[in-house]
Chain A
Amino acid sequence: MTAVQQQGASPPAPAPQGGPPAPPVPSGSVRPGLADVRARAAAMPPRRGIRRAVPRTNSGRIRALSAGVVVVLAGLLLLSWNAVHDARTGVKVIGTAGPQVIATGDLYFRLTDMDAQLAHALLVGAGPAHAADRDQALTRYDGSRSEADKALVEAARLARDDTEKQTARSLLDALGRYERLAGQALLLDQRSPHAAGPPSAAVTQLYRQATDLMKLELLPQAYNLTLDNGTIVRHTYEDKRSAVLTGRTVVLVVGFVLLVLLGGFQLFMTRRFRRLLNLPLALTTVAVLVVVAWTATMLSGEASSLAKAKHDGFDSILALARARAIGNSAQADQTRFLLDPGRADTYEQVFQSKSQTVLYLKADNLADYQNGVKGLGTLQSPRDKPLLGFLGDEGRRPGGSIEGLNDVLHGFQRFQQNDRQMRDLVAHGQRDDAIALQTGQAATDYTSYDKSVVKLAAVHQATFDKAMKDGKGGTKGWQYVLPVAGLVVLLLLVAGIRPRLAEYR
């Protein structure tokens, strides 16, 4: 007995450097199979380099492979979780920032409307004949002012850095000055009643100061602030979409690594235990395949929802909001043209340049442009006449509606025809008729044009809402799916290796 013990305790020379020496256990408590394996292992020549890291016993190898599978699986689940989180953040930020930015875009529209209504009220005058018209304009002025205040507060809240905050402060300051000038002009105009048409020189002077302030300070800064806010949405969109797509690649690569590992495991088991298939292990592989494929598909869906919300929804809504604001300010330039003949040339040129921003056609002058607009007729498809400007961009966007676009185009054509008629009347000395047209039929036609723009924007709003809903639905329940999938894979793995490990106990 002593001799045997001594033999077992002393390591054979040369001692294997990698594995621990076989412990001096009483041979009776160990099954012959394991003792045999250990003896064989001990008899092997010493191994060097990376091979030293490979366990030499079957049970050690099974444990090591299983540990590898568990580690990679944990990595896969964490990375998937991360990608799902990115997708959720992207959808959430665009879902809330998008509408907020669109609300600040409203600021520009409200400001132009304030100046338009002020011009209108001064043009019709304080006489009894146009009392209702003037009251209506002033009511609309107040409404727009209140909306502008609201949008400005929202824009200031969204400001990210000092530059944007300073812009918001400067806007508040300029708006205060504008309201003071507007109040003075209205009061002075009330004290010197006139028939519809240009007011007194003093009133015109005050209005010029007000409208210059609007044009040179308020509107540019409001517009730039909306553009700045739009970049928040663009950056979130680009960051999150790229994070989701990167996450998808990572999930696919790590998933592939896991599948290779499981394949190797299966091969090892087949060779060592001479069984064609370890069923639970095969099921583990299938489960991993399903999880990886499902996650990757879901992430692709999220990325495309984000893209749809941004390009077909948000971009169009913002562009149409700008087209609406610029159209409204062009309409105000018509009123200013009538209100202030001293600046008629400038107001006419600015009207043309704003009209061309909405719908660009090359033209030598306004009359030429208006003939071109009339000649556009009805579009069969957005591509049959390549247009430039906001309406051209809208035509090129996918997901728009050709009927909606044609409604807008027809409204715009009427708007330009009325303008031609109004300017011709002025040229022939029929200023009163021009004013009657501008405050009557032309105003009604403009309102219906404006409504068609709003209606077209609603189509894109629906696209945006649908994409947001899809985006939210896509990741629904994934906080449960991933842990459950992990658990299933783990249980299948245990079921696959437990009986084999048991053979060595």
Chain B
Amino acid sequence: MRGLRYGAAALAVAASAALAAACGIAGASESSVAHKTKLVIGVNKDQPGLGTQQPDGSYQGFDIEIARQIARFMHAHDVEFKTITSATRETMLRNGSVDLVVGSYSITPERKTQVSFAGPYYVAHQSILVRAADGGRVKTVHDLAGRKVCQVPGSVSFPRVTKERGVPAVAVSASGYKDCLDALTTGRLDAVSTDDLILAGLYAQNQRGGGPALRLVNAPFSDEPYGVGIKQGDVDGCEAVNKAITQMYQQGIPAKLLQAQFGSSGLDFTSTVPQFEGCE
């Protein structure tokens, strides 16, 4: 009889302890991407070499491979890709349509007020692509003075040349960087200046298509840290992505991916892990 009474008391203690413990766990981030087995990753569909969507709906490119590797090292078995644009990526991260964004997404202080960033997984540099015939004359950004340079609306690359470096280049508008490539090969403009990985992608595409010889000028004049966008405040998820990026670099994977994707352009790659932004 008394034993039962003890049992009831012990039960009450255990129940209240369990209740309180449950409250404590609920405080931890249950929505973190750190422990998800399926990741939805937002990527670009129209950047040659970085992220392009094939006619069958699949995606390929450097960003896509990096996204797959990050998911692999985070032990996510299932990866789904969704197309993002510069206009939608912050919203899609915030409303949970995508868990991560891997799509040449430069980390800037303004964007950091809206989303968090893991990584960068690569630091690209703004550089210049010209026709091979002009290779001897265009060696640095200053040599773009007076030349016709591609300007893509919404991209910061052209203002970087004219406003930041103060080089009086002549603007020639294009709808996107694929369009810039056509204009460069047909002689409508003299140079395309943007992130070296995008230029290397254009270079490889032109080479595959049998276009005229081009040259990628190895004169980087800016740092563009490509981050992995993640919902603001998901510190555990951000740390897990950083750990995945570190492990990926320790196994030498990005160097192989870069070589496979852009090797033909003669671009100088960095094969060591970039400096992270920090998750808090």
Q: CA–CA, A279 to B279, complex, Å?
A: 58
A246 touches B24 (CB 8 A): yes
User: 0/1 per residue, B30-44, Cβ < 8 Å to A?
Assistant: 000000000000000
Q: Work out how many contacts link A and B, with CB atoms closer than 8 A.
A: 135
Interface residues on B, range: 35 or more
Instruction: Give the contacting residue for B279; candidates A227, A349, A360; CB below 8 A.
Output: A227
**Chain A nearest CB, measured from B240 CB (Å):** 11
B27 touches A242 (CB 8 A): yes
Given A242-B27, A253-B16: A234 and B141 within 8 A (CB)?
A: no
**Chain A nearest CB, measured from B178 CB (Å):** 27
A364 touches B159 (CB 8 A): yes
Q: Flag whether A362 is at the interface (Cβ < 8 A).
A: yes
Q: CA–CA, A485 to B60, complex, Å?
A: 68
Q: Write out the residue numbers on chain B whose beta carbons fall within 8 Å of the beta carbon of A349.
A: 164, 221-223
A71 touches B10 (CB 8 A): yes
Q: Write out the residue numbers on chain A whose beta carbons fall within 8 Å of the beta carbon of B112.
A: 388
Q: CA–CA, A253 to B13, complex, Å?
A: 9
Of B8, B28, B110, B221, most A-chain CB atoms within 10 Å: B221
User: 0/1 per residue, B246-268, Cβ < 8 Å to A?
Assistant: 11001000000000000000000
A364 touches B164 (CB 8 A): yes
**Chain B nearest CB, measured from A5 CB (Å):** 28
Instruction: Give the contacting residue for A250; candidates B16, B159, B219; CB below 8 A.
Output: B16
Q: Write out the residue numbers on chain A whose beta carbons fall within 8 Å of the beta carbon of B280.
A: 230, 234, 315
Q: Flag whether A205 is at the interface (Cβ < 8 A).
A: no
Instruction: Give the contacting residue for A67; candidates B6, B24, B219, B276; CB below 8 A.
Output: B6
Q: Flag whether A249 is at the interface (Cβ < 8 A).
A: yes
A224 touches B24 (CB 8 A): no
Q: Flag whether A447 is at the interface (Cβ < 8 A).
A: no
Of B1, B141, B239, most A-chain CB atoms within 10 Å: B1
Q: CA–CA, A63 to B17, complex, Å?
A: 26
Q: Flag whether B97 is at the interface (Cβ < 8 A).
A: no
Stretch at the interface among A195-203, A212-220, A283-291: A212-220
**Chain A nearest CB, measured from B80 CB (Å):** 27
Interface residues on A, range: 35 or more
A72 touches B220 (CB 8 A): no
User: 0/1 per residue, B235-247, Cβ < 8 Å to A?
Assistant: 1000100110011
Q: Flag whether A34 is at the interface (Cβ < 8 A).
A: no
Of A249, A350, A360, A366, most B-chain CB atoms within 10 Å: A249
Q: CA–CA, A242 to B24, complex, Å?
A: 6
A167 touches B246 (CB 8 A): yes
Q: Flag whether B113 is at the interface (Cβ < 8 A).
A: yes
Q: Write out the residue numbers on chain A whose beta carbons fall within 8 Å of the beta carbon of B246.
A: 163, 167, 224
Q: Write out the residue numbers on chain B whose beta carbons fall within 8 Å of the beta carbon of A365.
A: 163-166
B24 touches A243 (CB 8 A): yes
B109 touches A68 (CB 8 A): no
Q: Flag whether B87 is at the interface (Cβ < 8 A).
A: no
B243 touches A163 (CB 8 A): yes
A223 touches B221 (CB 8 A): no
B5 touches A253 (CB 8 A): no
A388 touches B16 (CB 8 A): no
Q: Write out the residue numbers on chain B whose beta carbons fall within 8 Å of the beta carbon of A72.
A: 9, 12-13
**Chain A nearest CB, measured from B219 CB (Å):** 8
Complex interface residues of chain A between 427 and 452 (CB less than 8 A to chain B): none
A345 touches B20 (CB 8 A): no
Q: Write out the residue numbers on chain A whose beta carbons fall within 8 Å of the beta carbon of B9.
A: 68, 71-72, 75, 261
A64 touches B221 (CB 8 A): no
B4 touches A53 (CB 8 A): yes
Q: Write out the residue numbers on chain B whose beta carbons fall within 8 Å of the beta carbon of A345.
A: 140-142, 165, 219, 221
Instruction: Give the contacting residue for A64; candidates B5, B164, B166; CB below 8 A.
Output: B5
Q: Write out the residue numbers on chain B whose beta carbons fall within 8 Å of the beta carbon of A55.
A: 1-2
Residue of B nearest to A255 (CB): B16
Given A71-B9, A75-B13, A253-B20: A220 and B273 within 8 A (CB)?
A: yes
Complex interface residues of chain A between 62 and 79 (CB less than 8 A to chain B): 63-64, 67-68, 71-72, 75, 79
User: 0/1 per residue, B171-193, Cβ < 8 Å to A?
Assistant: 00000000000000000000000
Q: Write out the residue numbers on chain B whose beta carbons fall within 8 Å of the beta carbon of A366.
A: 164
User: 0/1 per residue, A57-97, Cβ < 8 Å to B?
Assistant: 00010011001100110010001000000000000000000
A360 touches B19 (CB 8 A): no
Residue of A nearest to B14 (CB): A75
Given A71-B6, A365-B164: A242 and B13 within 8 A (CB)?
A: no
Q: Write out the residue numbers on chain B whose beta carbons fall within 8 Å of the beta carbon of A166.
A: 250
A250 touches B12 (CB 8 A): no
Residue of B nearest to A215 (CB): B275
**Chain A nearest CB, measured from B251 CB (Å):** 10
Can you sample 6 A-B contacts with CB below 8 Å? A63-B2, A220-B273, A220-B276, A249-B20, A250-B21, A365-B165
Residues of A within 8 A of B (CB): 18-19, 52-55, 60, 63-64, 67-68, 71-72, 75, 79, 163, 166-167, 170, 216-217, 219-221, 223-224, 227, 230-231, 234, 238, 242-243, 245-246, 249-250, 253-254, 257, 261, 315, 322, 345-346, 349-350, 352-353, 356-357, 360, 362, 364-366, 388-389
Closest 9 A-B residue pairs measured CB to CB?
A246-B24, A220-B275, A253-B16, A249-B20, A364-B163, A53-B4, A360-B109, A75-B13, A250-B20
In addition to A68-B6, A315-B280, 19 A-B residue pairs with Cβ atoms within 8 Å of each other are: A63-B2, A64-B1, A68-B5, A72-B13, A167-B250, A224-B246, A224-B276, A227-B279, A234-B235, A246-B23, A249-B20, A257-B16, A345-B142, A345-B219, A350-B223, A360-B110, A365-B164, A388-B109, A388-B113
